[in-house]
Amino acid sequence: MENRVAYCVSDHTGVTVEAVANSVLSQFPAFEFSLIVLPFVDSAAKARNVAAQIAASPGALVFSTLTDPVLRSILHNARLNLFDVFELFAPPVEGVLGQSATPSGGRTHGMANDYESRMDAVNFALNLDDGLNPERLDQADLILVGVSRVGKTPSALYLALQYGLRTANYPLTPDDLARDSLPEVLLAHLPRLRGLTLSAERLAAIRQVRYPDSRYASLQQCREEITAAERLFERHNLPVIDTTRMSVEEIAARLRLRP
């Protein structure tokens, strides 16, 4: 498999351009890409340094979301394999809207109007992580339920930070799994419950890293817990997402869209 270097250049955090690059490059499975993110390129001096750095990597691909025309021209003049996101999308949008774009760096991830609500949601997720403070579950937008290590905590935090959703997570213990019903504290909130599951083999591998050669990490234990949890999910007709082959971004996006 051929390895190629791809640079992601941004005048802010680089989150947007990295997502675009990952999405595009995933369509070329014959190549293995090493992604290098270069954030906060917000001056001519930084843009020139970046152009020189990239020029030293022959054949490198460059994805850019720089918005300042001066900074963009520095990359263009460096004769790089450049894919300028705004150059690709802004002109056709201008044609439809009948108005020229007004460049302004960092708008997509700046101090947006929802900043405080997202930070509040993050604090909420931390305060209700792993079954803490169940008396506050009525304040949650979503409640993630599943056995230990299926991805509840990272998904809850991502939903909070990215979408501002107040997300709690509640672990199903062996005692919970031995019963015929979900814990009583959850039953009053069924419309907001979302079940997370994954393959027993993947769960065992994750647990093995944390607690090597323990009963907790054994494949048999993982199979029993997953089977019992899925039985409870079915009994209460919960929407369920299998996280086995999903990134946290994919899990969060699916959770956000589920009714």
3-state SS record for the chain: CEEEEEEEECCCCCHHHHHHHHHHHCCCCCEEEEEEEECCCCCHHHHHHHHHHHHCCCCCEEEECCCCHHHHHHHHHCCCEEEEHHHHHHHHHHHHHCCCCCCCCCHHHCCCCCHHHHHHHHHHHHHCHHHCCHHHHHHCCEEEEECCCCCHHHHHHHHHHHHCCCEEEEECCHHHHCCCCCCHHHHCCHHHEEEEECCHHHHHHHHHHHCCCCHHHCHHHHHHHHHHHHHHHHHCCCCEEECCCCCHHHHHHHHHHCC
CATH 1.10.8 fits domain 115-257: no
Fold of 2-109: Rossmann fold (3.40.50)
Paired with 64 in beta bridges are 9, 84
Structure tokens at 69: 């025309």
* Dihedral class, residue 150 (left if φ above 0, else alpha if ψ from -120 to 50, else beta): alpha
**Ordered strands of the 193-197 beta sheet:** 167-171, 142-146, 193-197, 240-242
Please tell me the pTM assigned to this model. 0.68
- Where do we find the tokens 């750095």? 53
Choose among 100, 108, 205: nearest CA to 150: 205
* Stretch 44-71: mean pLDDT: 95
Which of the four pLDDT bands, split at 50, 70 and 90, describes residue 92? Answer: confident
φ, ψ (nearest 5 deg) of residue 136: -100, 10
Weakest-pLDDT range from 19-23, 153-157, 254-258:
254-258
Contact 107, 65 (CB under 8 A): no
Residues of the chain with CATH 3.40.50: 2-109, 115-257
* Stretch 106-120: mean pLDDT: 66
> How many CB atoms lie under 10 A from the CB of residue 107?
12
- pLDDT tens digits, 133-179: 999 999 999 999 999 999 999 999 999 988 899 999 999 999 999 99
Q: What pLDDT does residue 105 have?
A: 53
223 vs 137: CA distance, rounded Å = 29
